[in-house]
Structure 1
Amino acid sequence: MKVIAAHGIDGATTRRIAEQAQAPLATLHYCYHTKEDLFADVYDFVARRFRDVVKGSAPHADPAATARRLLRGLMECYLESADFAATALELISWARRQHEDRGIRVYDEAVEATRTVFRDMVSTHPLEAETIDEIAYVIATLADGFALNWLTYEDRSAAVKQMEITASVLDSWLAVRLESAPAALG
């Protein structure tokens, strides 16, 4: 992750990766036949991290509290590690360019994990499928925007304040959307 974050995919040579890992280059080549195989493992790590954040952030008392916790969990994950944020965005972009479906898949998996949290709440908090899709989209959009801003400026104190602003945007949208959302059909 550190090499990809610092040098991008194209600059993440096996030599740099081996140096960062403090491992012989031959060992890296023994474990991974191609650089793409190595990136696939990093890619899977990133996807698992997103799923873990979603699972660890939900469920809460109601859809609004759950949405806030999910967004905050994603933003904290990015804030915790600029390398993770940079690597996640770089890998998704790279995979999208190289292997169209794989780039879409990691993003879809993260959004689907979010949808599942809200689908699981339907028995106690009726939500239509469209509303669930919208909530997942808004959370992803706000979290990604936060990550890009954090990576651009890397100002931790500003980022902490921006987390509150981002959360307030979600709160405002949820207040309007959930108030106007019809209950799911039983």
Structure 2
Amino acid sequence: MARMGAELRRQDFVEATVKVIAEHGVANATTRRIAAAAGCPLASLHYVFHTKDDLFYAVYESLFNLPHQALEEVPAGTTAAETTAGVLRQLIAWIIRHPDAARAQNELFFWAMRNDPEMANKIYSVALEATEQALERATGLHRENAVLKAASRLLIQLVDGLIIAWSAHGDLARLQAETETACKALALLVAND
């Protein structure tokens, strides 16, 4: 049997954890269930990730990076307000294509808030920093700009709220209509700079 490198194994465990969390929730994402979903021995999981918290943080980091990669493709609008609304649309489009990843990301964040507030704070700080960078790149607004900072925080809140609402109602047309309403609100904030 060929030996698999720790980095490749790590990715297998991350992907399996996303599936398990999306299907069963964080509380039921046991290391035994995750190892089985990855098709790997439990000992391998414990070798690659020393603690379950380490695994969950690695999952969150990988999930967070995926939607932000989609932001590289946001076309610039004619104004910063239009471009900012486009960023929100792009993130929701990514979520529609990857519902398990979006569900797992939210589950992990709520788990972290209850079990490790310091980790939750770190996760939010990383998300805010990446969102500010993406909006700065997309709009040309400077990071010191108060509107860019407010728009970044609002963007995160809107995405999280839209994911939660969609998870509850499951109606794609409703999600898209709610996204357009959120885009208008976000664009108004940026346009009032």
The question of a shared fold, defined as TM-score above 0.5 by the shorter chain, is answered with yes
* 1:131 shift after superposition: 1.3
Distance in 2, Cα, partners of 1:71 & 1:102: 25
The structure 1 residue matched to 2:151, chosen from 135, 159, 164, is 135
Q: In the alignment, what sits opposite 2:49?
A: 32
Distance in 1, Cα, partners of 2:84 & 2:96: 18
* Structure 1 residue identity aligned to 2:183: L
Instruction: Identify unmatched segments of 5+ residues in structure 2.
Output: 1-17
1:151 is the counterpart of 2:167: yes
1:8-23 mapped onto 2 (5 Å cutoff): 8-23=25-40
* Structure 2 residue identity aligned to 1:74: L
Contact between 2:132 and 2:149, CA under 8 Å: does it hold in 1? yes
Contact between 1:150 and 1:159, CA under 8 Å: does it hold in 2? yes
1:87 is the counterpart of 2:87: no
Q: 1:93-132 CA deviation, whole Å, 9 max, x = no partner?
A: 1222333232122223223222224444676x68972211
Q: In the alignment, what sits opposite 2:60?
A: 43
Is the deviation greater in 106-115 or in 143-152? 106-115
Partner of 2:40, secondary structure, is coil
1:162 is the counterpart of 2:178: no
Distance in 1, Cα, partners of 2:58 & 2:142: 38
1:59-138 mapped onto 2 (5 Å cutoff): 59-120=76-137, 129-138=145-154
Distance in 1, Cα, partners of 2:163 & 2:139: 30
Distance in 1, Cα, partners of 2:58 & 2:136: 29
Instruction: Identify unmatched segments of 5+ residues in structure 1.
Output: 182-186
In structure 2, relative to structure 1, the CA distance for the partners of 1:39 and 1:164 (3 Å cut) is same
* Structure 2 residue identity aligned to 1:151: S
Distance in 1, Cα, partners of 2:185 & 2:139: 22
Q: Provide the identity percentage.
A: 29
* 1:147 shift after superposition: 0.4
TM-score (norm 2): 0.76
Q: In the alignment, what sits opposite 2:4?
A: none
TM-score (norm 1): 0.79
1:180 is the counterpart of 2:175: no
Count of aligned pairs between the two proteins: 176
In structure 2, relative to structure 1, the CA distance for the partners of 1:5 and 1:121 (3 Å cut) is closer
